[in-house]
Structure formats: structure tokens, C-alpha cells
Amino acid sequence: MNKNNNHIIAPSLLAADFANLKNELKLCNDSKAEWLHLDIMDQQFVPNLSFGPAVVKSIRPHSNLFFDVHLMVSNPFDMLPAFINAGADAISFHIETTEPRFTFPPKIIINTIKKNNLRCGIAIKPSTPFKVIEKYLSFIDYIVIMSVEPGFGGQSFIPSTLEKISSIDKILKDKKIRDKIAIQIDGGIKLHNAKDVIDAGADILVVGSEVFKSENPIETINEMYNL
């Protein structure tokens, strides 16, 4: 999955300085980071509003990073074409937007993402049990475990997430599909807790304010790879 180590650091653009976006992107490009995490919020599924496909499309020519689009939106299916065309490499959506209402069945969303040769992930809120997504495991590439309530950056990591990661890691191993599905953790990741998250079984760490608010973002990203 990656070339640096046994985990991937994915800087979250949500925490960047949008008045200086090109430079913030360059910091990520110049670091060991391989993924760029793009939080899309619609002020409906979550209380915040972030950015749309036009921003993703505008930065795509300026980076070779793997663009990881996280749809925190109430109707992910309708947004898929725009982000696929904008240059996404992977798209994750929240199971809570589809279960149990099934505005669009998860399989339709997954199939649309996969048939466009993108990786597909399913995200779950802190309170959502893993069993809700178990029936979709054979169709997806990664699981996004939210370690904060989705909607805003800069929140504190929920400690019980570590147990959730370990539990999911064990389930995937027991099902003999651990090598096919990555575990991504999103929210509150800092230098002081990143190793615990990795040790619990995480493959991909989404890191926002810890990177972009630090004095040396490149050094912070690289340090996380050396944990």
C-alpha cells in the first residue's frame, strides 16, 4: 500500500491555510506524505461547510499525492461524478447516510466508485458499530474509523477508538481479509498518540491541525512516519 513504512500519513487539507493553499500543498508534496485527505462537508450531514469539487480540481495539477476524498454529506451518490471528474483517487462515504434509509443503497455507491477505478471506503462515526458495515467488506478497500465526531477539525481524540481499532483489526484477520482492507483513522491524531493508533492496527492516519498548525509541517509529517 505504501513505500515508506507500514503506515501512511494523510494530511487533511481542511486544517490548511486556504489563503495560501498552493504553498500548503507544496509542504505536503515535499514531505513523505503519500495521501492527501479531502474532507467534503455539506452543512447537512455535519454542521460544517468545507469545499467542493472545484477546489479539488484546481489543486489536482499541482500534486502527485493520492487524493483521498471523504464525503461527509447527506447524499454521497449525487456527488460522486463531480469528485471522480475532479481527480479523486479514492472516495469514502458514511454508512449513516445510507443505512437504514437507503436513499441510495451502499452497493450502488460502492459500484459507481469502483467501476471508475477508484478505491472505495466506508466511514463510521464514533457511535456507529462496526457490524453495520460488515456485509460490505468484500466490496471495499478501506474503513474510515472516525475518532472524533465528524464536522470540525481540531477536536480531541476519543480514547475508546483504540479498542475499536484493535477489535476491527482482529475481525479482519479472523476473516482472513486483513491484507485486502486498510484501516484509516480520522480525527485528533497528534504526535503523542499516533504510535498508539498505529500499534492498535491503523494503516492510514489522517492528520490535520497537528501538521498545518505546527512550526514545521514537513518535519511533523516525516516524524510521524518514523514512529
CATH number at residue 147: 3.20.20.70
- Domain contains 177: yes
- Domain contains 153: yes
Global pTM value: 0.94
- From the list 39, 42, 68, 141, the catalytic residue is 39
Total domain count for the chain?
1
- From the list 42, 68, 141, 186, the catalytic residue is 186
Is there a catalytic annotation at residue 169? no
- Domain contains 3: no
Is there a catalytic annotation at residue 30? no
The residue type at 69: V
- Domain contains 77: yes
Q: Which domain holds residue 119?
A: 8-225
pLDDT in tens, the chain (227 residues): 443 458 999 999 999 999 999 999 999 999 999 999 999 999 988 988 999 999 999 999 999 999 999 999 999 999 999 999 999 999 999 999 876 665 678 999 999 999 999 999 999 999 999 999 999 999 999 999 999 998 776 679 999 999 999 999 999 999 999 999 999 999 999 999 999 999 999 999 999 999 999 999 999 999 999 98
- Domain contains 1: no
- Domain contains 2: no
- Domain contains 221: yes
- Domain contains 188: yes
Phi, psi at 185, each rounded to 5°? -115, 130
